[in-house]
Amino acid sequence: MSLQQEQQISEDDDDDVQLTRQEIVFSQMRARGSKWPKAIGVVEIIIGFILSILGALEIFIIPMSESKDGSNQVVMDKTNSYGAGFFAGLVMVITGSTALRATMSQRDTTVVRFFNLTILSLLLYAVLTVLLIASYSEGWTSPDKYKPGSRMKEVHIFVTIFTVLGLMFAVTSFVQYVEVICCGEVPLWSMWVSCFCPCVFSKKRRRLSFDSSLREEFHSFSDLI
């Protein structure tokens, strides 16, 4: 009877250890508000969806509706900042969807994938924001550049506003999870090194396997003693 109780206690201890290992990677997230990026993912999907619609209006719908001879069906030039809103919206929708995927699966790989896309969207939105500012400063998107009565200028103003909002949420995601992902239990920089320089990690794996073999040999020798 006592043997069964000891086995049951040891199994319970193993379950506790397993649960602790699963929560170790994201234990620091509890001190940063929401543990999983659910709210950020929902907001990013909404902003990305709106930006995609506005970008489609700039590139496809408004040029087609305002064209009399049907020649200007797709427009990607200085007047719409080369379709910046459309591409920014697509990237933000993908990033937000990955955030929701990470929330549902709760695996470190999906959170790292979400953070990679967050870095990509942060860089892209920074470049697009500079492009939009340059378009206004150079006069590419000034009201006199559009046809009289065109809706392109109003749409482009909304594209600029939502692009800046997207940049703000990309910065928020980066600041919220940069320490956990890059300096936590599974550092992101090591995954980048293993991806781009696999020879470095192959040497490290061989070293670890050699150390583990020495450890097993030591344990077997101590058991004999």
pLDDT at 127: 93
pLDDT at 88: 93
Q: Which residues does the chain have with pLDDT short of 70?
A: 1-35, 70-72, 184-187, 189-225
pLDDT at 89: 94
**Does residue 3 fall inside a structural domain?**
no
pLDDT at 225: 41
- Could you tell me if 45 and 109 lie in one domain? yes
- Could you tell me if 182 and 197 lie in one domain? no
**Does residue 154 fall inside a structural domain?**
yes
**Does residue 145 fall inside a structural domain?**
yes
Half-sphere exposure of 147 (CA within 13 A, CB side): 11
- Could you tell me if 154 and 200 lie in one domain? no
- Could you tell me if 192 and 217 lie in one domain? yes
pLDDT at 53: 94
- Could you tell me if 105 and 146 lie in one domain? yes
pLDDT at 78: 86
- Could you tell me if 142 and 214 lie in one domain? no
Domain with 224 in it: 188-225
- Could you tell me if 193 and 151 lie in one domain? no
Q: Which amino acid, one-letter code, is at 206?
A: R
Between the two ends of the chain, the Cα-to-Cα distance in Å is: 33
Has this prediction a pTM greater than 0.75? Answer: no
- Could you tell me if 76 and 46 lie in one domain? yes
pLDDT at 185: 57
pLDDT at 184: 63
**Does residue 54 fall inside a structural domain?**
yes
pLDDT at 202: 55
The tokens for 26 are 């994201």
- Could you tell me if 153 and 107 lie in one domain? yes
- Could you tell me if 105 and 68 lie in one domain? yes
